[in-house]
Amino acid sequence: MNRLLVSVAVGGLVAVTACAEGATTSTVFVSAAASLTDAFAEMEDVFESANPGVDVVVNLAGSATLREQILDGAPVDVFAAANESTMTEVVTAGRAASAPVVFARNRLQIAVPLGNPGAVTALSDFADDGLLIGLCAEGVPCGDLARQALQAAGVVPSIDTSETDVRALLTKLEEGEIDAGIVYVSDVAAAGGAVESIDFGGASGFVADYPIVVMESAPNPDGAATFMDFVLSETGQRILAEHGFLH
Amino acid sequence: MTTRRSRRIVRRPPAPVVLLAAAGLAVFVVPLIGLLARAPWGDLSTVLAGDTVVDALRLSLISSVGATAVSAVLGVPLAWVLARVDFRGKSVVRGLVLLPLVIPPVVGGAALLFALGRRGVIGEVLYESTGLLLPFSTWGVVVAVTFVAMPFLVITVEGALRNLDPRFEAAAASLGASRWTVMRRVTLPMIAPSLASGLVLTWARALGEFGATVTFAGNLPGRTQTLPLAVFVGLESDRDAAVALSLVMVAIALVVLVALRDRWWRAL
């Protein structure tokens, strides 16, 4: 049913585009959280091959940076955030065309370099002065969530760096420059075996909901709706699951 | 009469030039207006008294002055060699020196991490033999900032040395001065204005450095979080603080650049 809707909508869009502008492509600007980098790259490929003539442009950054861009009037069609509070601010500012829909969920995990040089086993190791510990910065969804998890576990972390987004943290873990960090399960999946992961107790209580919405001032509202439907479709959800996101 | 007229013509350039100059100035002034418009003027003193601000200010001063000092010690000899010594592959060496001006600072930071990080080509040896770890330390900030800022010193001083009339040094040498004395008593004093402007440019670039620092040295308040890093992180969590910090940076930079312009920056 959903798929039928999508194809009807896409058909209409392509027809309209074809009539109005000949071979000119229509563009959909998507602002997506950094943790969606790989999933949305695949999303873009699959969507574009299913919708010839539609060009999806994905702008990736920390959710908070994207929020600031949107609040400052960036011409965005679709916004996919990595937590609800960021989205709420955009909605409160009257910038969303409708109520946001949660399209993916992500769980926290401890990540360590290959071989686990710091012999990290649990959240309590994050208090160890002798280890190089990295988190996402405060204000970045993965940083806020990780701090909540540490606080709930009664751990005061001995932080050596607060990285500005989750992918920067992941890079330092892959390079073995820090001993442990807290990232999303999807980031571990994205690292493709370049880091090891450790589940921690209570992690299921710290799950980030990823909301998506079409912007009120979307330059291309039809393309935006079509892309959002695609993300929520069976194909879109399968792509997200393959990249480690939860339903 | 003629002289007065010609003077007036020189003083008053053609209208298109004035218009383009105004547009050029607008490129610098417009963002500044945006910053001033967003500033939390009422809470400025509260915001600026916070620990984060004081720590970031202290670290920025340490790292920018430190990088300028390192640049002076290493960059002046490098400029001298480039200006005075003929050797094969000199253009390649000059290209290498100028590289940090062109490559994105983030790439420079990543390259530093690959070289000097705990698992880096050189860093691993350094760490295992001495326990010294540059990333996530204030020394790491100085290294990252020096990498990005030193080219400004080298190109300024090299240019000055090449424009120097060699007869002064030759005269000093013919009067029996040693090479070291010539350099100390003749060469360096003669290029002093350029050296000073090079140092100021280097310091200014060092103060604003963000990409290489955050990539190589990480971001930790009190240890590696300089003003630009505090601003970037603040934009995500506390915009008022970020804007207030930006104003502090603008104020420091303007005060120093304007004050030094009159004293020893005439060469530029």
- pLDDT 10s digits, B94-121: 999 999 999 999 999 999 999 999 989 9
Q: What is the 3-state secondary structure (H, E, C) of chain A?
A: CHHHHHHHHHHHHHHHHHHHHCCCCEEEEEEEEHHHHHHHHHHHHHHHHHCCCEEEEEEEECHHHHHHHHHCCCCCCEEECCCHHHHHHHHHCCCECCCCEEEEEEEEEEEEECCCCCCCCCHHHHHCCCCCEEEECCCCHHHHHHHHHHHHCCCCCCCCEEECCHHHHHHHHHCCCCCEEEEEHHHHHHCCCCEEEECCCCHHHCEEEEEEEEECCCCCHHHHHHHHHHHHCHHHHHHHHHCCCEC
Which pLDDT score, from 0 to 100, does residue A203 have?
A: 74
Tell me how close the Cα of B106 comes to any Cα of chain A, in angstroms: 11
Domain borders along chain A are 2-104+210-242, 106-207
- Please check whether residue B131 lies inside any domain of the structure: yes
Could you say which of 3.30.1330.10, 3.40.50.2300, 3.40.190.10, 3.40.720.10 is the CATH number of the domain covering A2-104+210-242? 3.40.190.10
Tell me how close the Cα of A20 comes to any Cα of chain B, in angstroms: 37
- Please check whether residue B34 lies inside any domain of the structure: no
Tell me how close the Cα of B233 comes to any Cα of chain A, in angstroms: 7
Q: How confident is the model at residue B268 (pLDDT cuts 50, 70, 90)?
A: very low
Contact check, Cβ <8 Å, A172/B218: yes
Contact check, Cβ <8 Å, A176/B119: yes
Which residues span the domain enclosing B169?
43-263
Per residue in A139-189, pLDDT tens? Answer: 888 899 999 999 999 999 999 999 988 889 999 999 999 999 999 999 999
Report the residue of A166, A177, A179 to disrupt the B interface, i.e. the one with the largest count of B CBs within 10 Å: A177
Please state the ipTM of this predicted complex: 0.77
Contact check, Cβ <8 Å, B219/A164: yes
Which pLDDT score, from 0 to 100, does residue B6 have?
A: 64
Give the residue from chain A lying closest to B232, CA to CA.
Answer: A164
Tell me how close the Cα of B42 comes to any Cα of chain A, in angstroms: 22
CATH 3.30.360.10 fits A106-207, yes or no: no
* Mean pLDDT value across chain A: 88
- Structural domain total, chain B: 1
B192-208 vs B239-263: helix crossing angle, rounded to 10 = 180
Q: Do domains A2-104+210-242 and A106-207 have the same CATH topology?
A: yes
Which pLDDT score, from 0 to 100, does residue A216 have?
A: 93
- Please check whether residue B200 lies inside any domain of the structure: yes
Question: How many CA atoms, within 13 angstroms, populate the side-chain half-sphere of residue B140?
Answer: 34
Which pLDDT score, from 0 to 100, does residue B93 have?
A: 94
Question: In this structure, which amino acid lies at residue A125?
Answer: D
- Please check whether residue B19 lies inside any domain of the structure: no
What is the average pLDDT across B230-241? 83
Nearest to A161 among B218, B237, B238 (CB): B218
- Please check whether residue B30 lies inside any domain of the structure: no
Nearest to A176 among B118, B133, B236 (CB): B118
CATH of the domain at B238: 1.10.3720.10
